[in-house]
Amino acid sequence: MDTTESSPGEALPATSGYRWVILAICWLAFTLIYINRTAWSVVAIDASHSLGLSVAQLGIFATALSIGYVVTNIPGGIVADLIGGRMAAGISLVAAGLLTLAFGTVTNVGVGIALQILIGLVSGADVASFTKLISRWFPPADRGTAFGLYITSTALGSVIANASIPELLAKLHWNGVYYVLGVLTIAIGAVCWTFLRNNPPSPVEPAAEASASGGRLGLRAMVGNRNLLSLAAAGLGMQWATLGFLAWGNSLMVKALGLSAGKAALVMVIVSTTAIGVKPLVGFLSDRVRGTRKAHLMVLSGYFVIILIVFGLLRNYSVMLALAPFLGLGVYGYTVLTNSTVPQYADPRFVGGAFGFANTAWQLGGVFAPIAVGAVFSATGSLFLALAVLAVGPLLGVFLLLPIRERTPVPVADERRDSVPTGSDVLGDGKR
């Protein structure tokens, strides 16, 4: 199992300044992961000709990848806890790169689906590994900032994919795009293996005191952690709204308001681009504004409800453009806090499995929300009612966060002078 002690022969950096190298590598790897996940949507039409896919079948490969990924979120996180984030990330990325190369050779739909499922399966450990590593190297007082910078990779990866892959597609066709992505993924996996370190020279929090869960690693221990369970359930509600809006936003504006596809796309671009600035800002402020992560999350979740309702009432396109950045804050702002809070509620030794557990719940929002929105909009044709259905998720999230018990942190300057909190404070198990 990965412990707080260094691996034999592992050369650790002399100062904790190396944490920024850790963060940069995790950010780079996660950016490439999102480029890979976005790639199919860009090449799908071109690939459909050689694979003999109908338009209705184009989403089948993306669905296959998602199935594999969701299935291995928890096992992948547990693997990261057992062998360490460095090794888990390196193996995951190299394996995904090899399978991505193989996908570029596909001429059979069945083989292509199988390979996408396999890519999803081997990718289950990557995000949990990065979360574990960042939480190991950054103290609680700095995690909001660290995760805020790290999570910009999701938005930036999508932007890079949409900007660069069409150029590659024109020169290399869809197969060549996957060859390039496969090589890059293997290379980044090698970088992770070489330069990531599981532990800083000195722990950022006392593992012995924080291990109040009795050393249990399994699902039963996760379900028994009230704070983690509440965060997972509340995050599902928030992701319900985010993933549902991203899936239906364009179509709702076109069909309900009669906007052109270009005008609707511009609103969505502004909403998504906002994430690049919003995420670091929310993370930075969460480290410095007095109050618990729970309180910050409740505020952002409540704000998300309000902005969705307000946006659903709009009919003027200019006003929609003006409010799009504020909608972007609702759609993306809370993600920094849900990700950075998991390590606070988990035993430090088992952050990978805890994140895998929470992330599995969050991803379910993307499975069910588009179905619910589609049903409501088909029956009513109302933009307001469709967005109201999405707003139910973060509204429930506010109430689902209530059972969480955690200490109110002191200001950053004071916290860094004081000792690290005890296990009951870190785990948030209800003991004050």
Over range 225-242, report the average pLDDT: 93
CA 61 to chain centre: 20
CB atoms within 10 A of CB 380: 13
pLDDT at 273 (0 to 100): 86
Q: Is 36 exposed, middle or buried (0-12, 13-18, 19+ CB in 10 A)?
A: buried
pLDDT at 205: 67
Kindly give, in sequence order, each residue whose CB lies less than 8 Å from that of residue 426, ignoring residues fewer than 6 positions away: 140, 205, 209, 210, 344, 348, 420
The structure's pTM equals: 0.78
pLDDT in tens, 119-134: 989 998 998 999 999 9
| The predicted structure's pLDDT at residue 115 | 93
Indicate if the pLDDT at residue 411 is higher than 60: no
Name the token pair of 229: 């369970």
- Cα–Cα separations (whole angstroms), residue 26 to 135, 273, 314, 426, 427: 12, 21, 39, 24, 24
Q: Could you report the per-residue pLDDT of 141-176, keeping only the tens digit for each? A: 889 999 999 999 988 887 888 788 888 888 888 999
**What pLDDT is attached to residue 431?**
37
pLDDT at residue 60 is higher than 80: no
pLDDT (mean) for 226-231:
92
DSSP 239-267: HHHHHHHHHHHHHHHHHHH---HHHHHHH
Whole-number pLDDT of residue 109:
85
How does residue 428 score in pLDDT terms, banded at 50, 70 and 90?
A: very low
Beta strands in 302-405 (DSSP E): none
- Stretch 89-109: mean pLDDT: 94
pLDDT of residue 7: 43
DSSP letter assigned to residue 429 = B
**Mean of all residue pLDDT scores within the chain:** 83
**pLDDT beyond 60 at 10:** no
Q: Which residue has the higher pLDDT, 9 or 191?
A: 191
Work out the percent of the chain whose per-residue pLDDT is above 90: 46
User: Which are the contacts of 74, defined by CB distance < 8 A and separation ≥ 6?
Assistant: 124, 219, 353, 356, 357, 360
CA–CA distance, 336 with 349 (Å, rounded to integer): 21
Predicted confidence (pLDDT) per residue in 317-353, tens digit:
999 999 999 999 999 999 999 999 998 888 888 889 8
**Interatomic CA distance for residues 97 and 238, integer angstroms:** 31
DSSP 3-state of 405: strand
The answer to whether the CB of 345 falls within 8 A of the CB of 424 is: no
> Which has the closest alpha carbon to 228: 296, 293, 152?
293
Domains of the chain, start order: 19-195 (1.20.1250.20), 216-409 (1.20.1250.20)
Nearest to 300 by CA among 399, 398, 409: 398
- DSSP, res 126: H
pLDDT at 432 over 90: no
